[in-house]
DNA sequence: AAATGTATGTCAGAATACTTACATGGGTCA
DNA sequence: TGACCCATGTAAGTATTCTGACATACATTT
C-alpha cells in the first residue's frame, strides 16, 4: 500500500475524558455524512446512467417531468435544486436529442410547458429501473422502520434550515 | 402570485385505486431528501462564511487540516470528496492568503505536508463557530437519540454504496 | 388605465470542478 | 539491482453550474 493510507486516530481518547477543543470524529457530523453519501450516490448513479447516455442531472430532470408533465423550466429548476439557467441548458440538450418537447411560443404568459416524448419516456423507464437498483442498494442495510424514520428526520432538518432565521 | 405556483397533485388518486406505475412522492425518496438537504446546508454555509471570505470547500479544507496537520494534498482531496486537482487549486489560493503553508520541496517522496498558519487557525476558529451554529440549527428538531440513529443509518448507506458490487 | 410587483426565459461571462495526461518518487518482488 | 506498480503533484483543456443582467408577460393595486 502507499503511504497515503496510514491511520489517523486523531479522535482516540486514551484517558476517556471529554475535551472541549478536541475535534469530534468527522463521521459523527451529519453534514459530513451527508456530503459523503451524496458523493457516493452521485457516483453510482452516473456510472449506471452512462450506458444510456444520461447524466444524473438529466435523469433528475426527466423524472421531474414524469411527475409534472407540462412543467415550466423554472418549476423544473426548483424541483431539481438548480438555477433556471442550468435547467435551461439541460432541457436544450434533451430537446436536441428528442427526449423532451417544448412549444416554440407560449400560449399565455412566457411559460413553455415541457413534456416527455415517447422516446424520452422509454429512456426514462430504462434509467429509472437502473437508478432504483442503486437506491435499493443504498437503503438495503436499513429496515423499513428505520427508512421512514431517517426520511422524516431529514425532512425536519430541511425545514429547520429553510425556515427564516428570526423574522 | 404568479402562474408557476399552481398545485400539481400528480399523485392524488381520485378513484382510490393503487397504481403500480404511479410515482411515489419525491419527499419519500431518500436520494431526493439527501440532495435537498445538502443544497440547503450548502447555501447556509456559504452565506455564513462569505463575510469571512471563505467558501464552503475552503472551510472544509481548513477543517480537514486541523484534524490532520501535515496532510498531503491527495489526502485532503479524499477527505473532502474532490479531486486532487481541485484541492490543489484550493490550497494555492489559501497559500496566497497565507492561511496555510507548504514546503517548496518534499523531504522524502513527493508529499508536500500542508499546515495551518496561525492566521489560518484564527480564521478557522471564527469560521467553525459560525458553521457550528448552522449545524446546530439543522439538527435542532432531532433529539439526541435520533441524531445518532440517523448518523449511523447514513453510515450504513455509505458502506452499502461503496462496497464492491459482486466481486 | 397606469403603475407596480413578480415570475419567466434567456444571454453573456465567471467560477468551479472534472477528465486526461505526464513526470517523479518510492515501495515490492523477482 | 532492476523491473514493475502505485501514489503523488501538477498542467492543460473541458464540462458544468453559477451570478448578473435584461426583456417580456401577467397579476395586483390604485
Q: Is the CB of A6 under 7 A from strand D?
A: no
The CATH code of the domain at A52-159 is: 1.10.10.10
pLDDT above 70: percentage of residues in chain B: 85
> pLDDT digit string (tens) for A31-77?
999 999 999 999 999 999 999 999 999 999 999 999 999 999 999 99
Q: What is the pLDDT of residue A109?
A: 82
> In the predicted model, what is the mean pLDDT of residues A134-141?
98
Q: CA-to-CA distance for A141 and B24, rounded, in angstroms?
A: 21
The CATH architecture one would assign to domain B52-138 is Orthogonal Bundle (1.10)
> In the predicted model, what is the mean pLDDT of residues B139-166?
94
Mean pLDDT of chain B: 87
> pLDDT digit string (tens) for B89-110?
999 999 999 999 999 887 778 8
Give B1 to chain A, closest Cα distance, Å. Answer: 13
Q: CB B154 to CB A30 under 8 A?
A: yes
Q: CB A158 to CB B72 under 8 A?
A: no
Q: Is the CB of A110 under 7 A from strand D?
A: yes
For A26, residues 6+ apart whose C-beta sits below 8 A from its C-beta are A32, B67, B79
> pLDDT digit string (tens) for B33-49?
999 999 999 999 999 99
- What is the enclosing helix (H) or strand (E) of B88? helix B84-96
Number of other CB atoms surrounding residue A118 within 10 Å: 9
Partner-chain residue, chosen from A34, A79, A142, that has the shortest CB–CB distance to B37? A34
Partner-chain residue, chosen from A4, A30, A35, that has the shortest CB–CB distance to B139? A30
- Has residue A125 got a pLDDT over 70? yes
With H, G, I as helix, E, B as strand and everything else as coil, classify residue B159: helix
> pLDDT digit string (tens) for B113-122?
999 999 999 9
Q: How confident is the model at residue B18 (pLDDT cuts 50, 70, 90)?
A: very low
Outline where chain A has alpha helix (H).
30-49, 56-67, 73-80, 84-96, 118-139, 144-162
Residue with cell 462496497: B163
Q: Is the CB of A73 under 7 A from strand C?
A: yes
Amino acid at each position: 500500500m502507499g503511504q497515503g493510507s496510514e491511520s489517523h486516530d486523531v479522535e482516540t481518547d486514551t484517558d476517556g475524558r471529554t475535551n472541549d477543543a478536541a475535534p469530534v470524529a468527522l463521521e459523527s457530523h451529519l453534514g459530513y455524512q451527508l456530503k459523503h453519501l451524496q458523493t457516493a450516490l452521485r457516483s453510482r448513479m452516473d456510472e449506471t446512467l452512462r450506458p444510456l447516455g444520461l447524466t444524473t442531472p438529466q435523469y433528475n430532470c426527466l423524472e421531474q417531468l414524469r411527475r409534472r408533465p407540462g412543467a415550466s423550466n423554472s418549476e423544473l429548476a426548483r424541483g431539481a435544486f438548480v438555477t433556471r439557467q442550468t435547467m435551461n441548458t439541460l432541457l436544450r440538450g434533451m430537446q436536441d436529442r428528442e427526449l423532451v418537447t417544448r412549444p416554440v411560443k407560449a400560449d399565455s404568459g412566457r411559460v413553455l410547458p415541457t413534456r416527455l416524448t415517447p422516446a424520452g419516456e422509454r429512456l426514462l423507464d430504462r434509467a429509472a429501473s437502473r437508478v432504483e437498483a442503486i437506491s435499493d442498494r443504498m437503503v438495503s442495510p436499513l429496515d423499513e422502520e428505520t427508512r421512514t424514520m431517517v426520511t422524516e428526520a431529514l425532512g425536519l432538518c430541511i425545514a429547520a434550515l429553510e425556515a427564516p432565521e428570526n423574522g
